Amino acid sequence: MVLILSDNELILDRFKKLVHAKSLPPALFSYSFSYNNKAMLAKYEGADWIKPVKINTEVDEIVEKYDLVISLHCKQIFPPELIKKVRCINVHPGLNPYNRGWYPQVFSIINKLPAGATIHEIDEQLDHGPIIAQKPIKIECWDTSYTVYYKVLDAEFHLLDIHLESILNNSYTTVIPHEGNVNLKKDFSQLCQLDLQQEGKLGEHIDLLRALTHGEYANAFFFDRDGNKIYVTISLKKSL
């Protein structure tokens, strides 16, 4: 049995469609989301096909029941006692080992390190284990976090389409990456507070704003003289 852990409904939905398209037995998969994911708790209360899970306190049950755990953007850290006992795979929205961790495409827009998708075995460090498959994506100068993110999701599903069976059968080979770099949630929060006195090239300022522009999310902000919090997004359009 395979446990699919996801806190991202869009990806979960695409994964279920992939299972269907590949005619894989639906009963092979169980689905869970994180116990502290309020939106999914409210939506799936009482559902019989998906349940909340607190991984740290349910390691023994998971080990007993499953041969494979796949994280599709699960926000919990997998404890060492789980990854030692069950094969755990992560589908990650970044091109490891570059910008491992939080919102990789945001940091790739700013620091120009490669972006893309990675499927890898989980080890004790964040987005770090042996790589099963990767697909880079190109960031254009008119992209925002939002447009890059959707290219990355497509790359993730391109990889899953090709490699899901070999992951299920444990018949893939892996490559060990170098250490790369890691960004945490707090690094993203720091980027969001704009310093209006910051000097630099205009191109760097545009990069910062497009890295923080993602649909309706209120990310980049500054405070005006009256202490009001003012949110900033940028709009970029390539001429036809």
Binding site for ligand 0FX (CB under 6 A): 8, 73-75, 92-93, 101-103, 145, 149, 214, 217, 219
Distance between CA atoms of 105 and 118, rounded to whole angstroms? 13
Single out the residue of 98, 138, 101, 135 nearest to residue 118, CA to CA. 135
Instruction: List alpha helices for the chain, DSSP H.
Output: 9-21, 38-43, 59-65, 80-85, 104-111, 145-169, 185-192, 202-211
Helices and strands per DSSP (H, E), number in the chain: 8, 11
Measured between alpha carbons, how far is 213 from 186 in angstroms, rounded to an integer?
17
- CB-wise, 59 or 117, nearer to ligand 0FX? 117
* Tokens 């309706």, located at residue: 216
- Gap between the Cα atoms of 106 and 96, Å rounded: 14
Q: How far is the CB of 27 from ligand 0FX (least distance, A)?
A: 26
- Identify which of residues 217 and 223 has a Cβ nearer to ligand 0FX in the complex: 217
Nearer to ligand 0FX, 31 or 149 (CB): 149
| Nearest distance, CB of residue 225 and ligand 0FX, angstroms | 26
Choosing from 73, 92, 120, 128, which is the catalytic residue? 92
CA 91 to chain centre: 7
Look at the block and give the residue holding tokens 């080979």: 173
Least spacing, CB of residue 207 vs ligand 0FX, in Å: 15
Q: Catalytic site residue 92?
A: yes
CA distance 207 to 142: 9
- 41 or 60: whose CB is closer to ligand 0FX? 41
CB contact at 8 A, 71 and 104:
no
Comparing CB distances to ligand 0FX, the nearer of 10 and 28 is: 10
Q: How far is the CB of 14 from ligand 0FX (least distance, A)?
A: 12
Nearest distance in Å: CB 234, ligand 0FX? 13
- CB contact set of 20 (below 8 Å; sequence gap of 6+): 26
| Residues involved in catalysis | 92
